[in-house]
Structure 1
């Protein structure tokens, strides 16, 4: 089926990662950075050049496009989704991708900063990639495989289906979002315009992975208020909010309940931002767990810690705000078992072993599932994301293309509506 196909995913990926699309959590605009439009507009033009006439970019930088059905059956409309932005954690400006052909298994020293070394000890999946073509950045930026690998996979899938009409499929909607990395990826998705019944995000890592479960997530903000006074005359008057917030942070456990001390199905509380002055300090946390109900317990735990800090500093006070971010997609996907089942069959048809996995994070699919679009997350090969050691295997991306093509065909074969 793919023996004579010349994959385009590699060349597309290498082109896309050179475009800086870093999102900004402190921006109030949508998208949060104007530069995300650069890639979105390019993608729409490339889709149009393939013959997908309705490809367009909306005012939020989202790309919508349709691969029309070529089946006589009535098939549910499915959507493939990836995001164009890269994470704020590490710069995405001036990415210089390097292809390490026929990877030998040795440590990869990144040339623009030789202190940046990608080792199989720290990245054991890399040891499985011997003989494959590995793409990295040059050492001073992230690569952007999260999620430009997913974008490139979907674009190559579209190319394959357009040029191979013998593969029967229903209508397929393509959605590229902005600002996923800062939790706003689907804030402005027009579900009526999207018009899909089921979906898949392409934003997972290892070859063969199908994620039908994610964390549930809340954000909680503590604003500590002190009492301002001239420090020269502050005795029995001044209450320093910086010290209150510091005591609060210092009271958190050092050996549990944090990202650096948990894995598997254990959740965590994680301070992500702190700012302020002596009179007022704001501390922002994210709360994560696979069991949604535990988020309330985590919030109560932090409130207790904050109140303990107030007891040390009489006169201080605190305001607490909790905001829902996303919920575990499994709560929805369990109602539509065929969505993940078809994805697993597609992995197998592409000659891979299925790795059923739970994501210790969230995807656009987490929220889309609760917006009426049941949406598991599928592999792209992107690894070590959000940092300078990010890498991706070309062969993993090609296998992801195969998987998505098989998935479109499976929906036409088995998902048709009587």
Structure 2
């Protein structure tokens, strides 16, 4: 149904554009280079025949595919983000295409001896015989979430070119800065005008998710006293040692590398310090709201306990909530999940319904009045050099979007 060469070329044209976001920036988008892809997408949407194409002052791109049926159907939407993570370079992405993958190790970079192996990444074996797009080992790929953008654009183009497929009005939006937790911050839900939407931002083929982590960021600043080490007896206070006490006091097995499913965690994502000051950055995650609040309280209590040992305020903590579990907003309208599940089944995809161990724009959008489950985009190993995406998964995701549009139109006949 969906032309393989066309979808491959479209995806590669997107990932060649560096759109890495920057958490230290206060602007939206957080980096000027995100405008490069935003503007390209706005022009492309016009070229394929969408209407009401707009790009606002914050680089949010919106467009409309008008209804082609006489009866009233709820307006639905599809959302993806065009930024890539600040965790790994997205500059000069040089993709490689592996045709008819044979199930063996893939050499990403011979010179640096970087290997993508199914012995470590077992999911690769699902895609024997398929076409896989990989990195050259020096950058990420950008399937998160340029695969989602590719699928949405390709689906809209297909519906324009095949008007015999019934559908109601469809709205699409491409957002900046999702990777730094701000993708929905300036999303104009009223302007978007959809009753519900789907983010195309999941991983492996079949994923369908309507619950995600509750999320917060914690910044712990430890203050020490720097004194010449030759004369430091009873005077120096080394902030790095206090920071080490803090780190070691948190549950060691409640970290990302030891948890799965609905298990929450504390993740130390950054540490910078010297004798005078050490700063720790954590992310806090839990699907259960009560456990989530308890995790935040545990960190605050630990700060108080350590400060009492030193008889002074040597640690400060700042915790900011990032997003919440969208389950409570999606469950009252579960028919939108049922439609997505049926769409997958009708195009030959087995749904994998599970909680997201992360977050999407859809989490925030659901609390802004736009219920927004998450559908697979097809990529694996996001945020690093081992990232890859099977072209066939992108084709199937595109088919799911098309089928969702058709099923929604038929449901409301």
Normalising TM by the smaller chain, what interval?
over 0.9
Distance (Å, rounded) in 1 between the aligned partners of 2:25 and 2:187? 19
- Aligned counterpart for 1:23 among listed residues 21, 33, 51: 21
> Displacement of 1:216 after TM fit?
1.0
1:345 matched to 2:338: no
In structure 1, the residue matched to 2:78 is 80
> Displacement of 1:224 after TM fit?
2.5
1:207 matched to 2:196: no
> Displacement of 1:279 after TM fit?
3.7
> Displacement of 1:111 after TM fit?
3.1
Give the direction of change, closer, same or farther, for the CA distance of 1:60–1:122 in structure 2 (3 Å limit): same
1:91 matched to 2:106: no
Give the direction of change, closer, same or farther, for the CA distance of 1:7–1:335 in structure 2 (3 Å limit): farther
Matches within 5 A, 1:288-299: 288-299=285-296
In structure 2, the residue matched to 1:121 is 119
Distance (Å, rounded) in 1 between the aligned partners of 2:111 and 2:185? 37
Give the direction of change, closer, same or farther, for the CA distance of 1:118–1:187 in structure 2 (3 Å limit): same
- For residue 110 of structure 1, give the secondary structure of its aligned residue in structure 2: strand
1:246-296 CA-partner distances (Å, limit 9, x unpaired): 221133333x11001111111001122233444443322111111012111
Q: Contact 2:145–2:201 at 8 Å: present in 1 too?
A: yes
Distance (Å, rounded) in 1 between the aligned partners of 2:368 and 2:110? 44
1:178 matched to 2:173: no
- Aligned counterpart for 2:193 among listed residues 192, 195, 201: 195
- Aligned counterpart for 1:271 among listed residues 265, 268, 271: 268
1:199-250 CA-partner distances (Å, limit 9, x unpaired): 0000111111111111111122222233455656554444333322222113
- Aligned counterpart for 1:360 among listed residues 352, 357, 362: 357
Give the direction of change, closer, same or farther, for the CA distance of 1:368–1:86 in structure 2 (3 Å limit): same
1:373 matched to 2:370: yes
In structure 2, the residue matched to 1:133 is 131
> Displacement of 1:314 after TM fit?
3.7
> Normalized against structure 2, the TM-score is what?
0.95
1:58-100 CA-partner distances (Å, limit 9, x unpaired): 1211111111111111111111001001111110101011110
Distance (Å, rounded) in 2 between the aligned partners of 1:166 and 1:232? 83
In structure 2, the residue matched to 1:313 is 310
> Normalized against structure 1, the TM-score is what?
0.94
Give the direction of change, closer, same or farther, for the CA distance of 1:273–1:339 in structure 2 (3 Å limit): same
Distance (Å, rounded) in 2 between the aligned partners of 1:7 and 1:172? 25
In structure 2, the residue matched to 1:396 is 393
Matches within 5 A, 1:101-116: 101-111=99-109, 113-116=111-114
Distance (Å, rounded) in 2 between the aligned partners of 1:85 and 1:242? 34
Which deviates further from its counterpart, 352-361 or 336-345?
352-361
- For residue 91 of structure 1, give the secondary structure of its aligned residue in structure 2: coil
1:52 matched to 2:50: yes
In structure 2, the residue matched to 1:68 is 66
* Corresponding pairs, count: 413
Give the direction of change, closer, same or farther, for the CA distance of 1:232–1:301 in structure 2 (3 Å limit): same
Q: Contact 2:303–2:316 at 8 Å: present in 1 too?
A: no
Which deviates further from its counterpart, 87-96 or 222-231?
222-231
- For residue 202 of structure 1, give the secondary structure of its aligned residue in structure 2: strand
Q: Contact 2:67–2:167 at 8 Å: present in 1 too?
A: yes
Which deviates further from its counterpart, 5-14 or 405-414?
5-14
Distance (Å, rounded) in 2 between the aligned partners of 1:6 and 1:103? 16
- For residue 402 of structure 1, give the secondary structure of its aligned residue in structure 2: helix
Q: Contact 1:40–1:84 at 8 Å: present in 2 too?
A: yes
Which deviates further from its counterpart, 240-249 or 380-389?
240-249
Q: Contact 1:244–1:310 at 8 Å: present in 2 too?
A: no
Distance (Å, rounded) in 1 between the aligned partners of 2:5 and 2:197? 23
- Aligned counterpart for 1:222 among listed residues 215, 220, 223: 220
Distance (Å, rounded) in 1 between the aligned partners of 2:287 and 2:5? 37
> Displacement of 1:300 after TM fit?
1.9
> Displacement of 1:176 after TM fit?
0.4
Flag as ranges the 4+ runs of structure 1 deviating above 6 A. none
Q: Which structure 1 residue ranges, 5 or more long, are not aligned?
A: none
Distance (Å, rounded) in 1 between the aligned partners of 2:148 and 2:114? 25
